[in-house]
Amino acid sequence: MDIAAIGNVEAYTTISVRSQVTGQVQEAFFHEGDFVKKGDMLFTIDRRPFEAALAQAEANDTRDKALLAQAEAQLARDAANAEYQQLTAERQAQLNQRGIISKDAAEQSRAAADATAALVNADKANVQSARAQIAAGQSAVETARVNLSYTAIKAPVDGRTGNLAVKVGNLATANNTELMTIAQIQPVYVTFTVPATHLPTVRRHMADGSLQVTAIPQDADAKAAVGKLTFVDNAVDMTTDTVKLKATFDNPDRRLWPGQFSRVTLRLAVIPKAIIVPSQAVQTGQDGQYVFVVKDDQTVEQRTVTPGQRVEDTLVIEKGLKPGETVVTEGQLRLEPGSRITTDLSGRTGGPGRGRGGRGQGQGGQGGGQGRGR
């Protein structure tokens, strides 16, 4: 059971390659239209400004580390002095209590100890500031290093390169100038639409397993590619009463090309032991659709049939025929029930009064022949 449609090939991924830093394009390592692998070098941007920025950031980081060492040394010296001043103040207080020294001398010693303690707190703040400055400096170094790495532009995916928009020597603006595009075509998508009336059937068969989709590109070498249905749109297009579907193809030979139109066949189910006949064998009369069946005595019998799914130029017959029976495919207007014919299964064309026969078979097979009315 198949559904035919016209589809459009889409790239699996399309990447717009842009520079993440501003600089002059120095070199391109590919030709337009080349296939590239993920990680392949595409462009280089002038490295010199970014190397200088990295060297400056590293120098600032070294300076900040030296300032931190100086602040820590100052803190250690002031902390030792503060400890000495504290002990001195305590001794001076004891001497004052014993009346050996004046109260004024004891208070001066206590004031000196408090001043030294405040200086230690200031030194601690300087040490914390120096450490924060080092953290900022290391971030600046990492930023400069990342910017330097951006001067080498590599392919983010496997794919085919497009038109080179910026030539070597031109200035590339960060996150603005598109250098080129890469289209990933292995795998590739084919998007098509089917009438919304088929949506319940498609969803039912998708629940049973993956559905096979065949795409034949519109070119001279009409070789079919086989893929799987991977997407059903979440809404029906009310203007056309269709639903969009998308199939994924491995595309190993790269025959499916983005933007190309193709004839698509969605196979919903395989009907086992189906009886099929050429579509021209089925005629329409007042009592419905019928075929002329050739009996053993070479006479024809008009038999009502129930046709089912159309598969290219053949029809599945659900009722009315048995495997192996021969049907007339041409000249039915010259025949009537009981007409005697002579069959010629060699496939030669017939003259006036001839009917051409085809043999209905099971398992999707079919045969052909001709009949001459008598």
For residue 231, the surrounding DSSP H or E stretch is strand 225-232
* CA atoms lying within 13 Å on the CB side of residue 358: 22
What is the predicted pLDDT for the residue at 220? 59
What is the predicted pLDDT for the residue at 36? 93
Strands 341-344 and 314-319 come out as: unpaired
Which residues on neighbouring strands pair with residue 181, listed in sequence order? 16
Q: How far apart are CA 180 and CA 16, in angstroms?
A: 6
What is the predicted pLDDT for the residue at 286? 81
Alpha-carbon 322 to chain mean position:
48
Q: What is the largest CA-CA distance in the chain?
A: 155
What is the predicted pLDDT for the residue at 335? 82
Provide the b/e sequence for 274-293 (b: ≥16 CB within 10 Å): bbbbbebbbeeeeeeebbbb
- Four-point Cα dihedral 142, 143, 144, 150, nearest 10: 110
Residues 6+ apart with CB under 8 A from 31: 161
What is the predicted pLDDT for the residue at 121? 92
Q: What is the full per-residue pLDDT of the chain (374 aa) written as tens digits?
A: 678 889 999 999 999 999 999 999 999 999 999 999 999 999 999 999 999 999 999 999 999 999 999 999 999 998 999 898 889 888 888 888 888 888 888 888 889 888 988 999 998 999 999 999 999 999 999 999 999 999 999 999 999 999 999 999 999 999 998 999 999 999 999 999 998 988 888 888 887 777 889 998 887 567 888 999 999 998 999 999 999 999 999 998 888 889 889 999 888 767 777 888 888 888 888 888 899 898 888 888 888 888 877 766 788 888 888 888 888 888 887 888 888 887 665 443 333 334 444 444 443 333 343 333 44
Q: SS3 breakdown of the chain: % helix, strand, coil, rounded to 5?
A: 30, 40, 30
What is the predicted pLDDT for the residue at 362? 44
